[in-house]
Structure 1
Amino acid sequence: MIKSLLRVARREFTFRMGGFRPSIEKVGEAKYLGSVYGGWPVIPSLINADSIIYSFGVGQDISFDLAMIELFHCKVQAFDPTPICKEWISQQSLPPKFFFHPIGVAGQDGTITMYLPIVEGSVSCSEQQTSRIQSSVQVPVQRVETIMREQNDAHIDVLKMDIEGSEIGVIDDLIKTLIRPGQLLVEFHHRINRSGIATTKRSVGLLQSVGYQLFHVSELGDEFSFVHRSRLR
């Protein structure tokens, strides 16, 4: 209980310092799926066995993906280009409806440089170099539109992304291409982005301007869950 209150206090301080007051709307009954570390809330009434689920940024925690498969009997397309994830996935026993793709998502097609973690036990790779001694790798990335075309998907029902700072470019690209996933679950990395909370504030505002309603913010203030108003009709 005390830890929870401290997290909320830290979130509110971060938001207040950045002049950011995200408004959370009651748009439907949400259910949290997955572990404390890797889980997300979704609106289950908008998901079924035929739903198209994209999960960007797998790391070593697929508890959310597995919970989606178990609860809704849907397929999950999971994406992560990092060597740490690819090695871990190769050692797992995965259900038939979990499909792994060793590519990343970005605002452009091609390759990007990702820096590997130097802290023992950490699995998060990032486009942003936080120490000069980090090693780096080149990884393949594609735009959401390109991935949808290759998967022959006309829409996305749930798009989750925890991609260590690259989410800003993906959101900008989604808005330009008019792709509107039904539910959009985003971990913002204002703690490592150079412009801090201002970048998150801008992206949230853009999403709200094109019809997204914010229905959850995590205690730490990093994970934001949105639903597009067109799915609530």
Structure 2
Amino acid sequence: MQVLKDLVKKLVARKSQENVVPLKGLIYLGSTFQGYYVPDNYLHAGSICYCVGAGVDISLDVELATRFGSQVFIFDPMPYALDHFNTLIEKAEKGQEFNASGGDGKYIYKVKRQQFDTIQFLATGVWNEKKTVRFYSPSKENYPGHSITNLQNTSDYIEAPVDKLGNIMRSLNHQHIDLLKIEIEGSEYVVIEDLLRDKLDVKVILVEFDEFHHRQGKVLATINRINQTSNKLLKAGYKLVHSISFYKRVFVRIDVFEALQSK
């Protein structure tokens, strides 16, 4: 049995690296479990970053603002996400330390109160239409990971508003998104499909395919779904520049990729 598990693990690791085209100048931002690699020579004070899915770890979101001065918009309709954001502001105002509660909980935010001038929290989810939907509770008590797609097959839920990414961009008067982070517990397939259908101007996409963590023995079927969506992004003109074995991926649109490679 252990031999089989080892073989599956090797297969998963190998499959996760298919189609990866390395991009020079990537740096890691965020906590151990909620961070991503992003291009170091890409974002600036005029950049627009959408971070969809916050939970209780907005380490990447905050570092996009503190490192590059980018305009960061955080989207999450869950009450605990807003509470976490507001608590961080309060701690920053008092000069007190505050930890991201996700992952190992060891990440300490390094942000000053004035830096929140470039960070905005919007209590809405992102989906493929504007409506009120059910966000189903995770199976683990007090885990901050509610899911529209009921990823963990539970019965309790919270109702909350969602909207299309295109609608949100229009409401904020944004013609493009420089960086989009998607961590939304199984809804990433729908949101990516929707943004491609609407041909939105999104230059860099960071996405965690959360189904991989809840595959319940269906590893190959899950990887196939992930690859189907990844291939749609590749076909739409994105390059996969980074991927890890549990399918957190970084896609860079080819025009941006080529510009960064030439620097």
TM bucket, shorter chain: 0.7 to 0.9
Question: Root-mean-square deviation (CA), in Å?
Answer: 2.2
1:105 maps to 2:103: no
Q: Deviations over 1:1-47 (max 9, x none)?
A: xxxxxxx986543366xx77622102331011011021111112121
CA 210–11 in structure 1, closer or farther in 2 if over 3 Å, else same: farther
Match of residue 248, structure 2, among 209, 223, 227: 223
Partner-residue secondary structure (3-state), 2:117: coil
Q: Deviations over 1:46-68 (max 9, x none)?
A: 21110010000000111111111
CA 11–81 in structure 1, closer or farther in 2 if over 3 Å, else same: farther
CA 205–38 in structure 1, closer or farther in 2 if over 3 Å, else same: same
1:5 is matched with which residue? none
CA 205–12 in structure 1, closer or farther in 2 if over 3 Å, else same: farther
8 A contact 1:190–1:197 mirrored in 2 = no
CA 155–131 in structure 1, closer or farther in 2 if over 3 Å, else same: closer
CA shift for structure 1 position 121: 4.1
Give the alignment of 1:87-106 within 5 angstroms: 87-93=83-89, 95-106=116-127
CA shift for structure 1 position 114: 0.7
Q: What amino acid is aligned across from residue 62 of structure 1 in structure 2?
A: I
Match of residue 14, structure 1, among 5, 12, 16: 12
Runs of 4+ in 1 over 3 A off after TM superposition: 8-12, 192-195
8 A contact 1:190–1:199 mirrored in 2 = no
Match of residue 207, structure 2, among 181, 186, 199: 186
Identity %: 28
CA shift for structure 1 position 204: 0.4
8 A contact 1:180–1:228 mirrored in 2 = no
Q: What amino acid is aligned across from residue 152 of structure 1 in structure 2?
A: N
Q: What amino acid is aligned across from residue 27 of structure 1 in structure 2?
A: L
Partner-residue secondary structure (3-state), 1:186: strand
Distance 1:187 1:180 in 2: 20
Structure richer in helix, relative to its length = 2
1:44 is matched with which residue? 40
1:150 maps to 2:175: no
Partner-residue secondary structure (3-state), 2:120: strand
2:74 is matched with which residue? 78
Distance 1:156 1:210 in 2: 16
Unaligned runs of 5+ residues in structure 1 are 1-7
CA shift for structure 1 position 221: 2.4
CA shift for structure 1 position 164: 0.4
Q: TM-score, normalised by structure 2?
A: 0.78
Q: TM-score, normalised by structure 1?
A: 0.87
Larger radius of gyration: 2
CA 47–20 in structure 1, closer or farther in 2 if over 3 Å, else same: closer
Unaligned runs of 5+ residues in structure 2 are 1-5, 90-112
1:166 is matched with which residue? 187
